[in-house]
Amino acid sequence: MKRFSIFPALAFAVACGGGEPAEGAADSAPAVAAPAATVSAPVAPTGPLTMPDWFHVDADAQTVHMTLTAGGTPPWHYNDAQHGGQAITVPVGYTITIDLVNDDPVMAHSLGISADPPPFGGVVEAVTVFDGAITENPASMVDSTMPGETEAVTFVAETAGDYWIVCYITGHSFSGMWLYFNVSSDGSVGVQGA
Ligand SMILES: [Cu+2]
């Protein structure tokens, strides 16, 4: 189980910040993101709900289809956002499909909807709040969504509330690989912070 020996070290390096390899990560972080060393929950992005080109709503069919691209050097991210730098809102009762594209050249990633809020520990239990809202083998370094792969999950957002999209690979959510995921009861839909 080599991931247990490798990842705490990586997470530690990220948490400590250091001076040297953080340049690229800092450049790609949205202005709303909290500093990487923060372990408390940052403030969620505000502003209007937008419809980026990776986010498609069909009100007649009551579906939302979105693409989340995972990758980057630590802190790892979805769609270039870390530490809740994006907030995704979907209407309650809609059927949601998320295509997780792993664009990271070297690292396994995963995705699921967590009912437990940040801050996240090094190990996030591989459970999800909505049936089907989790990629396969989400904590595995060798059998989750591997570099170059795309994995789709489809689920019904059946209960309104505040949730979080998390990566279950050890150390990833801890280091910032998570987004806000809100299920609205008033039909609100869109993305903040994109
Ligand atoms: Cu990850």
Domains of the chain, by residue range, sit at: 2-20+50-192
Rounded to whole angstroms, the Cα distance separating 2 from 15 reads 20
Residue 41 has a pLDDT of: 52
Rounded to whole angstroms, the Cα distance separating 182 from 115 reads 11
Q: What percent of the chain is modeled with pLDDT above 70?
A: 78
- The CATH number corresponding to 2-20+50-192 among 2.60.40.420, 3.40.50.1980, 1.10.10.10, 1.10.150.120 equals 2.60.40.420
Q: How far is the CA of 110 from the centre of ligand 1 (A)?
A: 6
Q: Cβ distance 41 to 119 under 8 Å?
A: yes
30 pLDDT higher than 80: no
β-pairing, 95-102 with 150-156? antiparallel
Q: Cβ distance 174 to 120 under 8 Å?
A: yes
Residue 124, Cβ neighbours under 10 Å: how many? 25
Q: How far is the CA of 76 from the centre of ligand 1 (A)?
A: 6
pLDDT tier at 36, thresholds 50, 70, 90: very low
Collect all residues with Cβ–Cβ distance below 8 Å to 67 and sequence separation of at least 6.
Answer: 54, 55, 98, 99, 101
Residue 163 has a pLDDT of: 98
Q: How far is the CA of 167 from the centre of ligand 1 (A)?
A: 5
Q: How far is the CA of 73 from the centre of ligand 1 (A)?
A: 10
Q: How far is the CA of 107 from the centre of ligand 1 (A)?
A: 7
Q: How far is the CA of 80 from the centre of ligand 1 (A)?
A: 12
Q: How far is the CA of 111 from the centre of ligand 1 (A)?
A: 8
Helices (H), the chain: 2-16, 23-28
Angle value at C-alpha 143, between 69 and 117, nearest 5 degrees: 55
In this prediction, residues 115-139 reach a mean pLDDT of: 96
